Structure formats: structure tokens, C-alpha cells
Amino acid sequence: MAPPLTISAAVARRFLVLRHLLAPPRSLPAAPESVMTVMGRLGSLQFDPLDIAGRNHDLVLLSRIAGYRRDWTDALLYKERRLYESYNKGLSVLPTTEMPWFRLTWDRSRARHEGSTFDEHSPLVAELLERIRRVGPLSSTDVEPRAAIDWYWRPTNQVRAILEALAEAGILGLSRREGNRRVYDLVERLFPGELLATRIPERDQLRHRVLSRYRAHGLLGASGQAEIWLGLGPASATAAANGTKPWPTTRGVLRQELIESGDLVAMAVEGIRGERYVVREELDLVSQAEREVERGAGPGGHVPGVAFLAPLDPLVWDRDLLRRLFGFDYIWEVYVPAAKRRHGYYVLPVLLGDRIVGRIEPRIDRRTNVLRIIGLWWEEGFDPLAERGLVDGLSEALEAHRRFGDARRIVLPRTIAHRPLVRALRKAVAV
């Protein structure tokens, strides 16, 4: 086997922003088809319903697409159905054409529920399915609530729990969302029968999923925090022996098969311990990154731009690599008690070119129709006013976020420390 290619840390950072379509930010055309362009590059986007500054997948798309509108993705999900919701490292948005490759979650959930939930609550299962067949799409609020049952993290209305279980099993799908209210229908009414009938061996699905994680991030290694590898089975034979679920093989074996087939190419990054892996089709982007860094050009040949990265953006999945490669220690503190937070509730990394230089906490205040910047923090030693492109880039990113949130104006921090920067920004944004 050929030794891994070796690149510098600077080239690795440049490669990542190039392949993440962030060189420069918001460079894709202002059109719904750009959503599919991002999906084609990253493969899937995590769906998180928290809508503080925008939902996670919307923020990923906002940083890459000029004039992005959330209804573009909603239409692709719930009208055109070129995208659908399923599980790949948590609840995700996936291309519908990939459905046969991600049936594993449905099939395993169905087997689990058929041995428990569906048997224990069979009358309600039959009632709900019959009502959907007869009347059409259904939400839990359309049915009189039943007694709460133990359900994952907390007791839940029995109707809501059973609808969720039927969706997890691939019997129901999402007809639409009304805010965070989920409206369900039979999957055969939502997706082509030929697609639903296609069956791919479980082992092949797992290998495809392993590849999907490398496609999403771009430079993962063999390990990393456990959440990166959710749903892929054990990492090694030892982990498999200690586990309770039967899996056809281990993640390590599947990764090795992808390396041997040439789908993944080993890469060594100077100063970073352990091999990393690049998807074969992106080796040209590695070469482009090397050329740009060598001649001192900006990312993609542009003046460095600014993007606010979503908390579950694939670029920030690997927190250890983020620290080692970008010198940035990021914790999404939404689940951290307020008294223990270092920064804020919904804080986003600030990307400048191919560096992460700070954090921002935007909040779309729909009551007053403004975009509020609750907090703004720069990395130690970083002077925003002395940095080429920062003020203009930050102005553009703020204005893009304001338009996305349909806000009238932007309210910036009023602390003494930010006054010089705020004065510079006032010339360019609607404040």
C-alpha cells in the first residue's frame, strides 16, 4: 500500500474551506438548485429543530449560498421530495435518491419496535394507520391525547410516541412540518414504489455510511469523538465483542475496504498525529490548496470572507482536529447550564478565510423583527480592525443573516470593548 500523502497544516486548512464551498462564503448562486449542490458535496446535513438564529441545516446552507431562503429546502423536502429526513449521525437531511443506502435505520428500528412498542400498543398502531389511510396526513395534535408512556428521555403522549415509532420504522414519513409540528403520511404515498422496494445488503449500506462521514467532513481520521460515528456499529472486533447489537462487520474493516478500493486516500498532516483520509474525487482540491498556499493567494483566489459556521456544520464535527489544526476550542453550549457557559447559549464559530478567529451569538428576534448580536468574542491576539477583510466580510455576513431572518435591522453589542468595531460596521449594515 502506498504511503500517505503529506501536506502542511496550512494546506489542510485551505483544502477544508475549498471543499466545504466556503472559499469564499456564499459563493453559490441564489437559487434552490444550490441546495442540491451543497448536498452533492457534503452528502447529508444534520437537522436540529432549534431555531434561534436559524435551524442548523439552514445555517450550513446560508454560509454557502447567496441569498439563501429556508423555504427552498422546505420545498425540496416536503413538496418536490428530492430530499427527505432520516438518520445519519443524528436526524439528517438526505437526498431521496440515497434512500436505499440508508434503509438500515428503518429496518433495525422496525425490528426493535415490532418486538416491543408495536405489540404493546397494537390497537393504537392499527387505529392510527387506518385513520391515515382513510383521512390522509396526520399529526399527533389531530388525535385526542392518550395516557403518557415512557419514551426515550421523558414520558410522552402515547399518540405522539407511536407516530414517531412508525416513522422511525419507515412505515410513515413526514408529509410536512408546520414549525416543529410533524405531519405524517404513509411512505408509499410520499416516495416512488421502485425506490422503496430497492434493497441493498446491510453490510454495503454500512460501508456507504462510513464513506458518507468522510464525504461530509473531508479530512476525518480513524477515530474521534463517538458522535461522529453514530449508527455505524463497533469500531473494532474488541468493541463488537463487548457490544449487544449484532453487526455484520466493524467500522475499521469497512474503512480499510474503502482505502483498498481507492475511495479513500490516506493523508498525513504535518503536526497532526494519525492518518487522515480524503475522498478520492477531492484530490484535485488538495492540489489547488497547495498551489494557493504556495503563492500566498486567498482562499479560492479571493480576499478572505467571513462565514458564521453552524454548530453542527460538518466542518466542525471533529472538535479535536479543530483544536489542533485551527487552534480553536469549540463547545456548543446549548446543553450546558447557563451558570457554566463560557460564552453563550447558541454561539457560532466565525470563519475568516481559512482561519477561525472568533465566536458570535446571533439571535433572530421575531417579536421586534431585528437580528440581535448577543455576544461577539475574538480569539486571543486577534484584532478585528487590524485584519484585512474582516470588517467588510463581517458586514456582508451580518447583512446576509439579516436578510435570511427577514429582520428590519441589526442590533450590535454595546459594550465598550466593541465600540470601535461597531462604529466601523455601522457604515455598512442596517443598524
Residue 431, pLDDT score: 65
Closest CA to 220 of 286, 274, 288: 274
Identify any residues that bridge with 364 across adjacent strands, giving them in sequence order.
371
Residue 102 three-state SS: helix
Residue 241, pLDDT score: 59
Q: Which amino acid is at 112?
A: R
Closest CA to 121 of 141, 151, 84: 151
Residue 415, pLDDT score: 85
DSSP state string for 110-177: HHHHHTTHHHHTHHHHHHHHHHHHHH--EEGGGS----EEEETTEEEEHHHHHHHHHHHTTSEEEEEE
User: pTM for the whole thing?
Assistant: 0.95
Residue 222, pLDDT score: 93
Closest CA to 307 of 63, 47, 46: 63
Q: Is the dihedral of CA 335, 337, 338, 342 positive or negative?
A: negative
Distance CA 132, CA 117 (A): 19
Reported in sequence order, the residue ranges of 205-287 that DSSP labels E, i.e. its strands, are 264-269, 276-279
CB 257 within 8 A of CB 249: no
**Over its length of 431 residues, how does the chain's per-residue pLDDT go in tens digits?**
677 899 999 999 999 999 999 999 999 999 999 999 999 999 999 999 999 999 999 999 999 999 999 999 999 999 999 999 999 999 999 999 999 999 999 999 999 999 899 999 999 999 999 999 999 999 999 998 888 888 887 888 999 999 999 999 999 999 999 988 999 999 999 999 999 999 999 999 999 999 999 999 999 999 888 899 998 888 777 766 566 667 888 999 999 999 999 999 999 999 999 999 999 999 999 999 999 999 999 999 999 999 999 999 999 999 999 999 999 999 999 999 999 999 999 999 999 999 999 999 999 999 999 999 999 999 999 999 999 889 999 999 999 999 999 999 999 988 877 888 988 888 766 66
Q: Which alpha helices (DSSP H) does 261-388 contain, by range? A: 283-295, 319-326
Q: How many CA atoms are closer than 13 Å to the CA of 149, on its beta-carbon side?
A: 14
